[in-house]
Structure 1
Amino acid sequence: MNLKVMRGEIMSDVLYDKKLTCLLCKYKFKTKKVRHSRLRLIKEHSDFYREYEGINPNYYLVNVCPKCGYAYTDQFTSPKPSHKEEIEKKVSNNWVSRDFGIVRDFNMALDSLKLAVFCGQIQGEKYNILATLLLHTAWIYREQNDEQNEMRFLKLAREQFLKVYQEDTSKEVNLAKLLFLLGELSKRIGGSDEAVTWFSKLVSDRNIQDEKMITRARDQWMLIKKENDRTG
């Protein structure tokens, strides 16, 4: 079996069509979603990016309405009337109908993620949602070995995660994972001292009982120490 046929079989097994109603214009459309139970993990990176066989589920994170261009994830809230008007002005009025409900390539995935960030910023979505979108954008650039853009979006994601830490006091926030990500993203963009500060906060917080995250933080902390010892 050739690679193209095998990849096609993986796609048909993993992807399915889901019917949605646009949160902005109420248009009904279909989009592709991922059966996560069918994914075959190849590798997990230290910032939680996961590589799977034959498919990148990050390509299908965002729903894009083919009629009005509104892009959103399943975590978005419905836009308020004032935000709706602004999205219509800045997105819908310039939108050329485009179907994202097919098997997506890198460019379609990138467009969907960036459009969701834009829509999310307009309607004031939670920092955690925006940070996640920016991090996923960095990941798909990593898949393409585009280090410059990966670093750019890792920095943007880190800025949003920092806002989560500083301003979001909701119980929805996983503090252990948030502290780890702040440390890990700081490390990846070259801020090893700042990374140690975040890892230290995680390890020393007596209220955090997540041993898995604590172990991850200690491991990354030790890697930084070894690298510093090596370079003098």
Structure 2
Amino acid sequence: MLLYKKKEVKNLDNILYEKQVTCLYCNLPFKTTKVKQSKLIVKHKDHDFCTHYEGEINPYFYDVNVCPHCGYAFLGNTPELRNSEKEILRKNYIERLNKINLCGPRNMEDAITSYKLALIFSTLLEEQYLMTASLCLRLSWLYRFQNNPQEEERFLANALNAYLSVYEFEDLNHLAMGKATLFYLLAELNGRLKKYEETRKWFSRLFAEKNAEPRVVKMARERWYDYKEQIKEIGI
């Protein structure tokens, strides 16, 4: 695996920078590459919130921090680890992990590796349903960029299952993403997987939410219209 591939990409200095991060597992600091958000130009957004950008730098490649000291991989919004959680990670994975350095510029292979590492850790800590869902969804996006529909669909299904766990086990009234957005994603992911009855169910729940954000309701109504047209075409 390539560690630093600066010569492969043009004008990296204009858009990439180093940020110091402290590992949530070993508490050691390290520098890792990030993207200057102000330099990004949005091309378009997919209905499951995947953003496509102009140029050759993909900011999703750099969302996961991978500690070069211990190998722990985590998103920037990952909560602090309790000692009991660190022990679970140590026994089940950290001690057997072959450490890699992903702190420099990344290619698609590096990005997928970083997300899969973070997903392993998130899955081991069984209560991190929302984190697991987010990682699976972003992995599906990476495979979309790679034009790999089989793997994209696999991780969309994994994301759907994780978001269903969020619905079942999380306190929806204190959910950071909001209940309406969760319902929207459950509808959208089911739709992408051609589970149209489930899509109908989750959009109906969203429309029944009295306190749903108007922008989410508008987005959902437009998307439900799209799916109704798809359903008509295939004669369900």
Q: Which residue of 1 aligns with 2:89?
A: 87
Equivalents in 2 of 1:41, 1:7: separation in Å?
19
Equivalents in 1 of 2:7, 2:81: separation in Å?
41
Q: Go from structure 1 to structure 2 and tell me whether the alpha carbon gap of 1:29 and 1:163 turns closer, same or farther (over 3 Å shift).
A: same
- Asked if 1:218 corresponds to 2:233, the answer is no
167-176 vs 104-113, which deviates more?
167-176
Q: Which residue of 2 aligns with 1:205?
A: 209
Equivalents in 2 of 1:109, 1:201: separation in Å?
35
The match for 1:74 among 68, 73, 76 is 76
So what's the TM-score if we normalise by structure 2?
0.89
Q: Go from structure 1 to structure 2 and tell me whether the alpha carbon gap of 1:152 and 1:6 turns closer, same or farther (over 3 Å shift).
A: closer
Q: Mapping of 1:125-144 within 5 angstroms? A: 125-144=127-146
How many residue pairs get aligned? The number is: 227
Do the aligned partners of 2:33 and 2:103 also contact (CA within 8 Å) in 1?
A: yes
Query: Counterpart of 2:43 in 1: which secondary structure?
Result: strand
Equivalents in 1 of 2:127, 2:40: separation in Å?
29
Instruction: Give, in angstroms, the shift of residue 81 of structure 1.
Output: 2.2
Instruction: Give, in angstroms, the shift of residue 230 of structure 1.
Output: 2.2
Structure 2: unaligned runs, 5 residues or longer: 1-5
Equivalents in 1 of 2:7, 2:25: separation in Å?
38
Q: Which residue of 2 aligns with 1:33?
A: 34
119-128 vs 152-161, which deviates more?
119-128
Q: Which residue of 1 aligns with 2:196?
A: 192
Equivalents in 1 of 2:36, 2:57: separation in Å?
11
Question: What are the superposed Cα offsets for residues 180-222 of structure 1, whole Å, 9 maximum, x if unpaired?
Answer: 10000000011011111111211232221x2221111111211
- Asked if 1:231 corresponds to 2:220, the answer is no
136-145 vs 69-78, which deviates more?
69-78
Equivalents in 2 of 1:148, 1:14: separation in Å?
32
Instruction: Give, in angstroms, the shift of residue 125 of structure 1.
Output: 4.8
Q: Go from structure 1 to structure 2 and tell me whether the alpha carbon gap of 1:204 and 1:82 turns closer, same or farther (over 3 Å shift).
A: closer
Query: Counterpart of 2:10 in 1: which secondary structure?
Result: helix
So what's the TM-score if we normalise by structure 1?
0.91
Q: Which residue of 1 aligns with 2:114?
A: 112
181-190 vs 81-90, which deviates more?
81-90
Query: Counterpart of 2:33 in 1: which secondary structure?
Result: strand
Q: Which residue of 2 aligns with 1:161?
A: 163
Equivalents in 1 of 2:8, 2:26: separation in Å?
38
Q: Which residue of 1 aligns with 2:152?
A: 150
Do the aligned partners of 1:176 and 1:202 also contact (CA within 8 Å) in 2?
A: yes
Equivalents in 2 of 1:135, 1:206: separation in Å?
27
Question: What are the superposed Cα offsets for residues 42-78 of structure 1, whole Å, 9 maximum, x if unpaired?
Answer: 1100100001122211111111111211111112123
Structure 1: unaligned runs, 5 residues or longer: none
Q: Go from structure 1 to structure 2 and tell me whether the alpha carbon gap of 1:133 and 1:48 turns closer, same or farther (over 3 Å shift).
A: same
Instruction: Give, in angstroms, the shift of residue 5 of structure 1.
Output: 8.7
Do the aligned partners of 2:180 and 2:209 also contact (CA within 8 Å) in 1?
A: no
Equivalents in 1 of 2:122, 2:7: separation in Å?
37
Equivalents in 1 of 2:204, 2:99: separation in Å?
49
Equivalents in 1 of 2:229, 2:32: separation in Å?
46
Determine what percentage of the aligned residue pairs are the same residue.
35
Query: Counterpart of 1:69 in 2: which secondary structure?
Result: coil
